[in-house]
Structure 1
């Protein structure tokens, strides 16, 4: 059975972020991740996590304007300086929060920039982040995000991401796979996981379509979790879904011990 973590940016949003740690612990989670923790002081979040006895396992680097529909920072050839500033901020938060992994969001293609140079920029920035965070024992991940929900994303499939990681060629940089995004790209999940799991440091999931909790869509998540066990995956599986109703009512999959 995989180890499950709660994504506090999508779960327990009925509460302020500092209160979500205790709610996650009460629901049975031992670990959490946060997409962007930067609206709160890191010491405040660390205190809340310690009080709830849950580990913060992953955060994202700041991504600039990406979540507002922009190109983001990590792959844009003209945004090297803002990316370095984001890396410094993420590095500071990761250290203070005791985070084990930092995810770099690749960003969208800018049609005014050369596509090959965009991918090269992403590879160089991932190598830089990998080198910088390795000094603190923090691993760097990057994920493929489907180009239906996020059109123009630089890496929308594991194959595209694998090519970038090969160019980055840094031992402290790995793939993050999200089962929802794989399904949205209509990829065959068993074969994809078998192929890319050796390069994967972290997994996230939501049912598809809808991006809600397990059991609301068509993904055979129980079978996929069993497959991950068979393939020898020992990392975390983070629940990164939007509850169809409330967070607590969505957790039947966890209490049933998938």
Structure 2
């Protein structure tokens, strides 16, 4: 069945509250998303790079979602110090214990919020660590994460990323290879996150990937290029790509993961409730 997708309606999308509304504290962003017309949100790991926040901190985060009346539809696993340049800890040798502890907290957040999609950023190639050893570490960590979130019918997502030279998963095929390796050894609840911005910037023929892989996408995120701004600020045919993905069997949702100031971030959408 072809998904009926309204490209300009806020409630068609999941809003990423870690790339948007960043002028506000994390605990105020869910309400700001709701005020802007969005009922569904996703976050990168929202605890300042700490893999094991306190129960009180987790409670505060979940309460901010509940009070706003929004659904948490996506959450990243701990990814290290993103502001400091980290892009995930899945493949970093020596971080296994912290990652495992983080997985347990992610599962609990998923259980309490209904979130079922969990993005595991792969991590950078690290000086002094053998790349094959890092890949083996990543496979083990992803296996652990997938088995853990399976308890709540969750899915682990793996994505290609741009803008970080040391990040080894540049194109869709790179992420798909990692997913296939994990699946071959056990859990099937792992899929590629198709971020059309990252894929395009890294040289993927996004339209061609959609033709072959759309039904296998675990999630779609969008931003325009160049610039990673809102749809319409660049040259990517995002509407065409989304429509084609659904026509070819994609059954998930679309998340807005672009970067733009709060004052103008949603000007491209129709029927937006203006925030104060």
Q: Secondary structure at the match of 2:234?
A: coil
Distance 1:177 1:234 in 2: 13
What pairs up with 1:31-180 in 2 under 5 angstroms?
A: 31-39=40-48, 41-65=57-81, 67-70=83-86, 72-146=88-162, 149-169=163-183, 170-180=187-197
What TM-score, normalized to structure 1?
Answer: 0.89
User: Structure 1 residues 52-61 or 96-105, which shifts more?
Assistant: 96-105
Q: 2:35 is matched with which residue?
A: 26
Query: Which structure 1 residue ranges, 5 or more long, are not aligned?
Result: none
What TM-score, normalized to structure 2?
Answer: 0.84
Q: 2:270 is matched with which residue?
A: 255
Shift of 1:117: 2.3
Q: 2:53 is matched with which residue?
A: none
Distance 1:128 1:92 in 2: 15
Cα distance 1:242–1:71, how it changes in 2: closer, same or farther (>3 A)?
A: closer
Shift of 1:216: 1.1
Equivalent position to 1:205, from 214, 222, 247: 222
Indicate if the aligned counterparts of 2:220 and 2:255 stay in contact, CA closer than 8 A.
Answer: yes
Shift of 1:66: 5.1
Distance 2:221 2:91 in 1: 22
Cα distance 1:248–1:236, how it changes in 2: closer, same or farther (>3 A)?
A: farther
Q: Secondary structure at the match of 2:47?
A: coil
Structure 1 stretches of at least 4 aligned residues deviating more than 6 Å after TM superposition: none
Q: 2:211 is matched with which residue?
A: 194
- CA deviations on 1:208-250 (whole Å, 9 max, x unpaired) are 111111111111112222222322322111111111xx32422
**Matched length:** 253
Cα distance 1:12–1:71, how it changes in 2: closer, same or farther (>3 A)?
A: closer
Cα distance 1:109–1:27, how it changes in 2: closer, same or farther (>3 A)?
A: same
Distance 2:21 2:172 in 1: 29
Distance 2:216 2:141 in 1: 18
- CA deviations on 1:46-104 (whole Å, 9 max, x unpaired) are 22322332110111111224552347421123332222122223233333333211111
User: Structure 1 residues 101-110 or 33-42, which shifts more?
Assistant: 33-42
Q: 2:17 is matched with which residue?
A: 8
Distance 2:121 2:231 in 1: 25
Distance 1:80 1:152 in 2: 19
Q: 1:242 is matched with which residue?
A: 259
Equivalent position to 1:231, from 230, 236, 248: 248
User: Structure 1 residues 151-160 or 77-86, which shifts more?
Assistant: 77-86
User: Structure 1 residues 81-90 or 130-139, which shifts more?
Assistant: 81-90
Distance 2:244 2:105 in 1: 37
